[in-house]
């Protein structure tokens, strides 16, 4: 079997662009993958084109060797653009191999360790009574793990963390009081805080209010996270931006993170994700995969989550509180897409990923340039989105 083509489809689906990649072979077997790096899909398309130049004509079954060749075939190896492209191709190669052998992808990863993959949900309302009501509704719908959104995140122009920290802490406390102690409760700060701001937020809540804080600060400096680690005992969930096992290394080796927020469409696909999973297991760190993209990413994440022992919850955006994300779940566009049942995904048993893409309909969709909000402080300076 030989690879005959690698094709990229950057298209607008629902409320954002998705970049799905198709690997075709001379035996008529093909595979689908998906790339992360949302908002910079065109850059990833360029990287995929570079890799296709030497991958066409190669054996798609040699996934590990092809991963190494893609990663090491340039002087400037690594980086989020390149590994986002490698991720999509790697996932598609696993889909090809699973179909060729007639087995689900999880069988290629050592077999499944669970039949159902538990998920966590997200409230969309800003801190206040509506947020508490959304949290209650999620519990009634079957979720026992969820994350909240901080105050101020809905503003698309100005963001001043200090103006919202107290309100966020207050309503996190009220939500915990409303839900009781049995629900796992966290908050996603989308790396918008400084160390001092994150410490202030954590210290404004009674002990035991939150079970995790996700991405409170940017990840470039493990030392900054270590400083924050000394100021709070709330577990951290970090890693959705990491593009390799090397980026995960200091966070695992130094005991900085307690949950690995690995994104299979950014970290390097199944090949790299399994290495991070094993490294995390050594340090008693559970996986809490990032999964905000489309149905191909969800299918890949479910296979990965089924195959690893150290797993907690998979992110799910198709929940009662995020109905607008259901626009991604177009069954005509993505036949066989996985659906939530009682806050779990059932692990599919079809060969490969178990999901297809309606290519004819996909080619009718257009790419739209989209920019995340360029947030500014009140003094005019730029800050993180």
* Active site positions, annotated: 190, 290
Alpha-carbon 292 to chain mean position = 5
Direct distance between the N- and C-terminal alpha carbons of the chain, in angstroms, rounded to an integer: 44
In eight-state DSSP terms, residue 104 is B
313: left (phi over 0), alpha (psi -120 to 50) or beta: beta
Q: Which residue do the tokens 């060969």 mark? A: 351
Could you write out the DSSP letters of every residue in 197-220? HHHHHHHTS-TTS-SEEE--S-SS
In eight-state DSSP terms, residue 51 is H
Could you write out the DSSP letters of every residue in 330-371? -TTTSTT---EETTEEEPP-SSBTS----HHHHTTS------
CA separation for the pair 277, 266 (Å, rounded): 14
CB 204 within 8 A of CB 187: no
Could you write out the DSSP letters of every residue in 144-162? SEEEE--TTTT-SSB--GG
CB 200 within 8 A of CB 192: no
CA separation for the pair 180, 198 (Å, rounded): 24
CB 184 within 8 A of CB 145: yes
Angle 283-274-109 from CA coordinates, rounded to 5°:
130
User: Residue 63 — φ and ψ, nearest 5°?
Assistant: -65, -45
CB 171 within 8 A of CB 127: yes
Our separate counts of H helices and E strands in the chain read 13, 13
């Amino acid at each position: 079997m030989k690879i005959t083509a690698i094709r990229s489809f950057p298209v607008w689906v629902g409320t954002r662009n998705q970049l799905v990649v198709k690997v075709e072979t001379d035996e008529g077997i093909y595979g689908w993958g998906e790339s992360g790096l949302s908002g910079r899909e065109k850059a990833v398309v360029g990287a995929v084109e570079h890799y296709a130049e030497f991958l066409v004509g190669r054996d798609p079954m040699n996934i590990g060797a092809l991963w190494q060749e893609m990663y090491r075939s340039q002087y400037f190896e690594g980086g989020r653009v390149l590994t986002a492209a490698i991720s999509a191709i790697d996932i598609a190669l696993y889909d090809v191999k699973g179909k060729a052998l007639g087995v689900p992808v999880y069988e290629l990863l050592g077999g499944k360790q669970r039949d159902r993959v538990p998920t966590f949900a997200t409230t969309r309302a800003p801190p206040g009574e509506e947020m508490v009501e959304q949290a209650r509704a999620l519990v009634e719908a079957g979720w026992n793990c969820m994350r909240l959104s901080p105050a101020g995140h809905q503003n698309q122009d100005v963001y001043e963390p200090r103006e919202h920290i107290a309100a966020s802490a207050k309503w996190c406390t009220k939500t915990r009081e409303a839900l009781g102690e049995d629900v796992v409760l966290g908050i996603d700060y989308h790396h918008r805080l400084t160390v001092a701001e994150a410490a202030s937020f954590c210290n404004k809540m009674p002990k035991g209010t939150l079970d995790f804080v996700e991405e409170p600060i940017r990840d470039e400096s493990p030392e900054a996270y270590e400083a924050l680690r000394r100021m709070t005992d709330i577990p951290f969930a970090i890693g959705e931006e990491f593009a390799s096992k090397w980026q995960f290394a200091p966070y695992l080796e130094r005991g900085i993170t307690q949950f690995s927020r690995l994104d299979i469409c950014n970290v390097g696909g199944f090949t790299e994700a399994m290495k991070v999973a094993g490294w995390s297991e050594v340090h008693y760190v559970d996986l809490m995969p990032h999964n905000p993209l489309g149905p191909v990413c969800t299918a890949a994440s479910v296979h990965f989550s089924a195959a690893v022992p150290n797993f907690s919850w998979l992110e799910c955006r198709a929940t009662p509180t995020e109905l607008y994300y259901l626009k991604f779940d177009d069954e005509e566009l993505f036949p066989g897409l996985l659906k939530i049942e009682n806050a779990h995904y059932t692990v599919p048993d079809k060969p490969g990923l178990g999901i297809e893409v309606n290519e004819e309909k996909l080619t009718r969709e257009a790419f739209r340039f989209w920019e995340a909000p360029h947030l500014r402080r009140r003094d005019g300076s730029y800050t993180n989105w």
